[in-house]
Amino acid sequence: MAVEFELEGNNLIVRDLIAVQAIDRGFFGSPFRGSRIELQLTPEEALYLIDVRGAVCRDGEGNLVGFNDLAERFDGKKFLARYFCYRDWRDRGIVARPMSEAKGNYGRSPMGKYPSQEYQPPKVNGKALFFKDDLMAVIDDNEVGRRLYEEEWFGQFGTYKAKKHGQFLKLDAYETLFLMQHSRLKLNEKEKQIVEAAINRRPDFLALYEVYEDWRMRGFVLKTGFKFGTHFRLYFPGAKPTLEDAEWMHSKHVIQVFPRDSKLLISEWARAIRVAHGVRKTFILAIPGKKQPGEEKVALDFLLYHRKKGIIETPKNDKPKYVMLAFSEEEEIGGAELASAIEQAKAMGLDLILSICDRETSVTHYRIKRIELPGSGYEYYEIEWIQP
């Protein structure tokens, strides 16, 4: 027989002894008024039991309370998105619990380490012409250009994937500014004018440059990620454009910059990760800059248990593995908001999972893993699509 529970004020209470035991075994509900004789359900748990388990909810007079009657009563910020993300986790046979049960630091958020090296930018004895409308610079002294390309992999000499076809070194705006600041490259324009032209085109230019400079100064090579739908693609220290045309070095990582003050629709945010996933690159997220006073603290949604050695983790025997932040497809996400969620997850010693409910209630989960770039003042994050 289906479980019955009661709506009493804003409390959802399971009273029947057998139902209480069944619910408790399924890791739904919490003690009501401090006692385990009756259980109290969260709105998500109540809706889940109605939706998927055929449970029945009645009010004090014994009238049936339907899904919408109940949902309307508790409707609030992203109510359905939270519910469907919860449902998806439970439908996989694994346990999600309310955030209120979180305690201390679980120590389950290990940090990946990247192989950074100290980098000495070369001194450049040459001059480049900057094209403001293209945000590119050209060095037409081929001796200077070829060396910068072959030894340091700045810009593109000749033609992409065919450096011997054509000539001249073409630099993008990040490379141009970097070489001005670190390598004494001379240009027809002042640094200020170049930065202004770039910001005029894309207001987030300096946030992107900050990330470019941070990785470059640690020995990595960053080139455009245009073909992979991201801001940069990344090569590990020591990477060079091929010496012979025969082989071409493939990047395995891409970097996307999400400035603290920017906001994006979740659907647009997820698109960048999708492209990277489609081409089998590791997606690295950068949120440069420091926490600003007045930045909103975002509320996390669920404490997630996962699996170990073929069986599921439970609140009875295990620690939680992740913490969930739920979104709907057409919701906005902000850089500062995401940074706040990651910071809270870190304080709990858990990896953050971003769960997105699309317009058809299908849920996609992204795991956010913290990575360390030794020598950098920032944290970066690998984001991977997971099927829990």
Taken in order 283, 289, 295, 297, is the CA torsion positive or negative? positive
Whether 235 is catalytic is yes
Residues 291-330 that bind its own copies (CB under 8 A): 328-330
Measured CA to CA, the distance from residue 30 to residue 35 in angstroms comes to 9
The one among 25, 184, 240, 271 contacting its own copies by CB under 8 A:
271
Q: Within a 10 A sphere around the Cβ of 267, how many other Cβ atoms?
A: 15
**Shortest spacing between CB 114 and its own copies, in angstroms:** 23
Binding mask 226-245 for its own copies (x = CB under 8 A): xx-x-x--------------
Binding mask 30-49 for its own copies (x = CB under 8 A): --------------------
**Shortest spacing between CB 316 and its own copies, in angstroms:** 26
Q: Which stretch binds its own copies (CB under 8 A): 31-39, 133-141, 306-314, 338-346?
A: 133-141
Task: Give the active site residue among 83, 235, 380, 381.
Answer: 235
The one among 11, 63, 181, 188 contacting its own copies by CB under 8 A:
188
The one among 332, 347, 374, 386 contacting its own copies by CB under 8 A:
332
**Shortest spacing between CB 267 and its own copies, in angstroms:** 6
Binding mask 274-293 for its own copies (x = CB under 8 A): xx--xx--------------
3-class DSSP string for the chain: CCCEEEEECCEEEECCHHHHHHHHHCCCCEEECCEEEEEEECHHHHHHHHHCCCCEEEECCCCECCHHHHHHHHCCCCHHHHHHHHHHHHHCCCCEEEHHHCCCCCCCCCCEECCCCCCCCCCCCCEEEEECCCCEEEECCHHHHHHHHHHHCCCEECECCECCCCCCEEEEHHHHHHHHHHHCCEECCCHHHHHHHHHHHCCCHHHHHHHHHHHHCCCCEEEECHHHCCCEEEECCCCCCCCCCCCCCCCCEEEEECCCCCEEEHHHHHHHHHHHHHCCCEEEEECCCCCCCCCCCCCCCEEECCEECCEECCCCCCCCCEEEEEEECCCEEEHHHHHHHHHHHHHCCCEEEEEEECCCCCEEEEEEEEEECCCCCCEEEEEEEECC
Q: Does 74 bind its own copies (CB under 8 A)?
A: no
Measured CA to CA, the distance from residue 69 to residue 77 in angstroms comes to 17
Q: Does 77 bind its own copies (CB under 8 A)?
A: yes
**Shortest spacing between CB 63 and its own copies, in angstroms:** 15
**Shortest spacing between CB 65 and its own copies, in angstroms:** 11
Whether 106 is catalytic is no
Q: Which stretch binds its own copies (CB under 8 A): 10-18, 56-64, 177-185, 224-232?
A: 224-232
Q: Which is nearer to its own copies, 317 or 362 (CB)?
A: 362
Q: Does 134 bind its own copies (CB under 8 A)?
A: yes
The single residue listed with the structure tokens 């902000």 is 334
Residues 107-126 that bind its own copies (CB under 8 A): none
Q: Does 150 bind its own copies (CB under 8 A)?
A: no
Q: Which stretch binds its own copies (CB under 8 A): 78-86, 97-105, 117-125, 306-314?
A: 78-86
**Considering only CA atoms, which of 300, 348, 296 is closest in space to residue 324?**
300
Pairing relationship of beta strands 56-59 and 332-334 according to DSSP bridges: unpaired
Q: Within a 10 A sphere around the Cβ of 379, how many other Cβ atoms?
A: 17
Burial of 165 (0-12, 13-18, 19+ CB in 10 A): exposed
The one among 46, 124, 135, 383 contacting its own copies by CB under 8 A:
135
Q: Does 79 bind its own copies (CB under 8 A)?
A: yes
Whether 190 is catalytic is no
Residues 335-374 that bind its own copies (CB under 8 A): 356, 358-362, 364
> How many residues of this chain interact with its own copies, rule: CB under 8 A?
67
The one among 105, 263, 268, 291 contacting its own copies by CB under 8 A:
268
Show which residues are catalytic. 235, 250, 281
Residues that bind its own copies (CB under 8 A): 51-52, 66-68, 71-72, 75-81, 87, 91, 129, 131, 133-136, 138, 140, 155-156, 159-161, 165-168, 170, 172-173, 188, 201-202, 223-224, 226-227, 229, 231, 265, 267-268, 270-272, 274-275, 278-279, 328-332, 356, 358-362, 364
